[in-house]
Amino acid sequence: MSIELRLSRASRIYRPSEPLEGKIIVKSPSSISHYGIRLTLNGSVNLQVRGGSAGVIESFYGVLKPIPILKKSIEVRPSGKIGPGTAEIPFSMILRQPGEDNLERFYETFHGANISIQYLVSVDIMRGYLHKTISTTVEFIVESDAADLFERPVSPEMVIFYITQDTQRHPLLAELKSGGFRVTGKMSTQFSLSDPITGELTVEASALPICSIDIHLLRVESVLLGEKIVTETSLIQTTQIADGDVCHNLTLPIYVILPRLLTCPTILPGPFSIEFKACIVISFQSELSKLHSKSDPTSPRLWRWKLCHLNWFGQDRLIRTETTVTKMKMCI
């Protein structure tokens, strides 16, 4: 005997005001009796502290108590029998009724290193004391309601940046210090979560040939543990925008698509917070770099510049940045 949960949408994306619909598909070679078929919805923020900036005491606690978001259960069918073959049992369940009080706000689905916001739908076929309950679980994705998306209009904004050998705080190759280097550009600072990061970059001068120009997307997860906030920064993805030595004074486009499950609207500090950064990383060709071709891209190197450029803020699927040129800093 097998059981399958098949949601009505292949994308598995739903909004809180929409019904979660689908079918429970039961395959059995013979007729079976049951004591009810129950459908359960669970949503929670799962927190844990591990590695990185966590100390010995913080790591000892490990997984923290989840923050509940959603807890609902309905009986799809009362006690009865399921005939042999394949049986399809439809179901429909509203995530949030109008005017209903939630345990917590409906955060959007997010899979991080220390923080995970997850929504699950489970079905249980109860068969009494002499038989094991048959169950299966499927994750579905929650996004903000359409009304929330357009509550505030998104206006295009750009931040202008420039980097030279004088703006860097970590040690550099002697050739870069003496010969000089200058890169200018701009990047979008306010956009919807479904839009890409856009902008442009121009290499005006460089004493050494360039090996690669990349955009690092980072997540900054903070968890409140007692009176201490444990913060961990981790790499989500790397997007290369230039390979090899680029022509000087040539405008290079910046276009980075955000991975849906690994990003979410910024959540401001509370029991936890989730923020993001985009870093421009410029690597140069040198004899020293050839000896460390597989080095960690997040670590500072003599032949690499790393500029923390974007710091996202916002809510309801809007991502805003407030970083200016004077706030640019070295990312380690």
Scored b (16 or more CB within 10 A) or e, 262-295 reads bbbbbbeeeebbbbbbbbbbbbbebeebeeeeee
Phi then psi for residue 51, to 5 deg, are 55, -165
β-partners of residue 37 are 77, 125
Which amino acid, one-letter code, is at 314?
Answer: G
Which residue is listed with tokens 């940046």?
Answer: 161
Six-digit token string for 101? 């009080």
Phi then psi for residue 125, to 5 deg, are -105, 105
* Architecture of the domain spanning 2-143: Sandwich (2.60)
Cα angle 166-327-258, degrees, rounded to a multiple of 5: 110
d(CA 252, CA 186): 11
d(CA 105, CA 73): 19
pLDDT score, position 313? 36
pLDDT, one tens digit for every residue, the chain (332 residues): 789 999 999 999 998 888 999 999 999 888 888 889 999 999 999 998 865 555 544 455 556 889 998 899 999 999 988 888 898 999 999 887 766 655 557 889 999 989 999 999 999 998 877 788 889 999 999 988 755 544 455 555 778 888 887 777 767 777 777 777 888 998 887 777 778 888 999 999 888 888 888 888 888 899 988 788 888 888 899 999 988 888 899 999 999 988 888 988 888 778 899 988 888 888 887 665 555 555 555 555 544 545 444 444 333 333 332 222 222 222 22
Spans of all domains in the chain? 2-143, 157-330
Assess whether the region 2-143 and the region 157-330 belong to the same CATH fold.
Answer: yes
Radius of gyration of the chain (CA): 25
pTM of the predicted structure, to 2 decimals: 0.78
d(CA 252, CA 247): 10
Cα angle 53-293-242, degrees, rounded to a multiple of 5: 95
- Domain 157-330, CATH 2.60.40.640 — does that match? yes
Residues 250, 202 contacting (CB under 8 angstroms): yes
